[in-house]
Structure 1
Amino acid sequence: MTVTHPVGAEEVVLGGGRSPAPPDRPPATGTAARLTRPLPALLLVGLLAAGWQLMAHTSDSALIPGLGDIARNLADITTSGALGENVRVTLTRVTLGFAAAFVVSVAAGIAMGRSEWLRRFLEPAVLIGLATPGLVKALLCVIWFGVSLVNPVLTVALAAAPALTINIAQGVRAVDPALGEMAHVYRLDALTRLRYLWLPAIVPDLFTGARLGIAMAWKVIVLVEIFGLADGVGYQLNLEFSQHNVAGVLAWTVAFALVMAAIEYGLLQTLERRAVRWRRVALR
């Protein structure tokens, strides 16, 4: 008598009678896990701060101020209100520019991923955008648009759009063609396909492109504010530099880094966890 064992649905799908690999374990969500999650990043920051303080102490140079001088400058710009006002101005410019880049990039990326002809048509523009230094974009926008709001918004859009577009296009090309055929069979309109097919499928690529785009946006907005504007974090950096206040330059730099960290850990990672929550649920 031959002894057999029941074959699960997962084995049928995978073929070969082999059991499927265990799914990725969802990240721990307990209180202890939430408290210990930032420890590696805090350890790195602590090591960098200790290394800087050691370098400042051994060099004894005004060009390398200690952590105390930087902290005093940071406290001064915070209590005076300069930090909040200039960060608000810079964030507004970055938000408007990135929003414009996002709309254009989603449309262009999906088009490039769906059509080979459009990919070949738009790819040179995307590659040129990636290869052009942010300094060149900032200078040209300052020359063409002066101190108007169009200047920083367009510069940020030009800096963020290429990385976002190419990541979205790659994500669309990786989508299972059967999903597109199903949408065609059921005659789904373009808006329904965008909402229920393309956007959920390209979420990881979308967030990867968003991170690269925002990183480029931060770099060029500082250059624009240094060269052609009279407010913002970049303008304050240039002002401290003109006064030979290295501690002030570093204080604004630290404040800028804290804002970027808050956006990454407080906004982008939170949105990404919620956007891909259905994937983790499906793996359980």
Structure 2
Amino acid sequence: MTVTHPVGAEEVAIRSGPPSPPPDRPSATDRWTRLTRPLPALLLVGLLTAGWQLMAETSGSALIPGLGEIADNLAEITVSGALWENVQVTLVRVGLGFAVAFVVSVAAGIAMGRSAWLRRFLEPAVLIGLATPGLVKALLCVIWFGVSLLNPILTVALAAAPALTINVAQGVRAVDPALGEMAHIYRFDALTRLRYVWIPAIVPDLFTGARLGIAMAWKVIVLVEIFGLADGVGYQLNLEFSQHNVAGVLAWTIAFALVMAIIEYGLLQTAERRAVRWRRVAAR
């Protein structure tokens, strides 16, 4: 007769080794990586700042103001409320224009990725849009639409759409054909395919195109506000330039760059990490 005895929890733990941490809990290495991730960028900013101050002190030129003078101008526009007022106006214009570009580019990019005929039909227009300088787009929209809200919206859309369209089309072409066959077998309608098949599959390309499109949008919106509008960051830059205030121009430029950095690192990268989280989980 065989005699057995129950196995205790301690014995099971000893045999199986120490319990592994939950897969969703970040390890100490991951936490340290997250904490030190901004250090290279901060180091670059520090070096550029120190280099500028050294150049300002050695040159002694009014065209190269020191950090103190720039900081005074930045504090002045912040305290007066002009900074947030004009940045908000510019952000609204960029947001509306990019929303238009996003809708058009996703539709056109998916169409180009799915149909060779449509790709050959739309590709010349996309390439022309990429090759046309932002200054030309800004000037034409100012001439055609004047100071209306349609002017900056269309300019931003024309600037952001080409890069976004190309990335979406490339992402769609790289999608596994089995996904399309599955959608056809289950008879998904167009909206269901877009929501559950194409958009999740092209998320990395979508964010890459969005970064390029927003970068183009920042450039042209400043030009539009300089040439044809009476408010916004571009208008304030032009105003400081007309008064030969180099420190004021640099103060508005730094403020605008900080806003762009917040959008890139605080919004876009965070949204991208959350959007592709399912890919990392599936790869485990």
Question: Do the two structures share a fold, i.e. TM-score over 0.5?
Answer: yes
**1:199 maps to which residue?**
199
Q: Report the Cα offset of residue 31 of structure 1.
A: 4.1
Distance change (3 Å), C-alpha of 1:66 and 1:27: farther
2:142 corresponds in structure 1 to: 142
1:63 corresponding residue in structure 2: 63
CA distance in 2, matches of 1:141, 1:224: 8
5 Å-filtered alignment, 1:94-243, equals 94-243=94-243
Tell me how far apart the structure 1 counterparts of residues 44 and 234 of structure 2 sit (CA, whole Å).
Answer: 26
Unaligned ranges ≥5, structure 1:
1-25
Q: Identity rate of aligned residues, in percent?
A: 89
What is the SS of the residue equivalent to 1:237? Answer: helix
Q: How many Å apart are 1:27 and its aligned residue?
A: 9.6
Q: How large is the RMSD of aligned CA atoms in angstroms?
A: 1.3
Tell me the distance in 2 between the aligned counterparts of 1:283 and 1:58. Answer: 55
Mark the structure with the bigger radius of gyration.
2
Greater shift in the superposed pair: 214-223 or 27-36 = 27-36
Give 1:179 shift: 1.1
Distance 1:211 1:246 in 2: 29
Give the whole-Å Cα distance in 2 for the aligned partners of 1:73 and 1:29.
42
Letter in 2 for 1:235: Y
CA distance in 2, matches of 1:27, 1:165: 38
In the other structure, the counterpart of 2:15 is none
SS in structure 2 opposite 1:244?
A: coil
Q: Which residue does 1:8 correspond to in 2?
A: none
CA 1:182–1:29: 2 relative to 1, 3 Å = farther
Match of 2:17 in 1: none
Cα offset, 1:34, TM superposition: 2.9
1:150 & 1:101 partners in 2: Cα distance? 13
Matched, 1:93 2:89: no
State the alpha-carbon separation in 1 of the partners of residues 55 and 167 from structure 2.
40
Question: Number of residue pairs matched?
Answer: 259
Question: Where do 5+ consecutive residues of structure 2 fail to align?
Answer: 1-25
Q: In structure 1, what is the Cα distance between the partners aligned to 2:282 and 2:79? A: 49
Q: Give the secondary-structure state (helix, strand or coil) at the position aligned to 2:61.
A: coil
- Determine the C-alpha separation between the residues in 2 that align with 1:58 and 1:148: 46
Sort the Cα spacing of 1:61 and 1:31 in 2 relative to 1 into closer, same or farther, 3 A. same
Alpha-carbon shift at residue 270 of structure 1 (Å): 0.5
TM-score of the aligned structures, taking structure 2 as reference length: 0.89
After superposition, the Cα gap between the structure-2 partners of 1:150 and 1:28, relative to the gap in structure 1 and judged at 3 Å, is farther
